[in-house]
A = this chain, B = another copy of it.
């Protein structure tokens, strides 16, 4: 019943050492699994009583559409992340979600949430922590759009994704596989695709990082951290829920 492959387990374990019964409590989320292909929205802005998911495999993006037809990508989600948990709690989806790659996800409803909270207040705190990390990511994106120049934005973005992927074992200090296009980066970072292309070339020529053929390679991690003023503190893990 317990699926050690579940990346949510890896993620929440970074916050608190989970007991066997807590792992079992989470393990019961492990069905039904659903697969979504590219082109099928998981959730549409404005939808009532949407379902939330835990992402097991693949990447998705969350976005909001404006009347003008422009879209703002709010964030990308990677394995172990909640999808649409905020929309579930708010009863109306405040954003849309679409797969970047084919994905596998597990449904999670309000009843499941309340059951988990009943079974373990520590799991509730761990889930609050996971939501807090999601919140911190959006705050960093806000600072990027408001105050960081193009090169700082792009560097910060790739470092942060790396830190998030590392928690679930999908990145090392050297880099990670990344299925995003330059158009995705443009819509997330408020830059044009042409501008993104120029910044990526600059990062490569200065031997800081390379993003090519679906792979991010950190050529000079420390200098990149310095340029981006990247602070891993908001990705901090280490047992805040240990009583």
Mark A residues whose CB is within 8 Å of B. Answer: 46, 64, 66-68, 70-72, 74, 85-86, 88-92, 94-95, 110-111, 113-115, 117-118, 121-122, 124-125, 127-129, 131-136, 138-139, 141-143, 145-148, 190, 229, 231, 233-234, 236, 238, 240-241, 243
A interface: dominant SS:
helix
One complex includes copies of this chain to the number of 2
- In whole angstroms, what is the CA distance A118 to B241 when docked? 13
- Measured between beta carbons, the chain B residues less than 8 angstroms from A89 are 125, 128-129, 132, 240
Residues of B within 8 A of A68 (CB): 147
20 more CB-based (< 8 A) A-B contacts, given A89-B240, A90-B236, A110-B125: A72-B142, A72-B147, A74-B143, A86-B135, A89-B129, A90-B132, A90-B233, A90-B240, A91-B236, A92-B233, A94-B233, A95-B139, A110-B240, A110-B241, A111-B243, A113-B125, A117-B125, A124-B128, A131-B131, A142-B145
Check B229–A85 contact: CB distance below 8 A: no
Q: Are A139 and B64 in contact (CB under 8 A)?
A: yes
Residues of chain B contacted by A71 (CB below 8 angstroms): 147
Across the interface, do B122 and A121 meet the contact criterion of CB distance under 8 Å? no
Contacts of A118 in B (CB 8 A): 121
Asked if B92 contacts A229 (CB within 8 A), the reply is no
What distance in Å separates the Cβ of A174 from its nearest Cβ neighbour in chain B?
A: 25
**CA–CA, A175 to B70, complex, Å?**
31
Write the chain B residue with the least CB distance to A233.
B92
Q: How far is the CB of A234 from chain B (nearest CB, A)?
A: 4
Distance from A217 Cβ to chain B, minimum over Cβ atoms (Å)? 26
Beta-carbon contact of A91 and B243 below 8 Å: no
Contacting residues, chain B, for A125 (C-beta < 8 A): 89, 110, 113-114, 117
**A139 closest partner in B (C-beta):** B74
Question: What are 18 A-B residue pairs whose CB atoms fall within 8 Å in the complex?
Answer: A46-B233, A64-B139, A66-B148, A70-B147, A72-B142, A72-B143, A72-B146, A86-B132, A86-B136, A94-B139, A110-B241, A114-B243, A128-B128, A128-B131, A134-B135, A138-B138, A138-B139, A146-B190
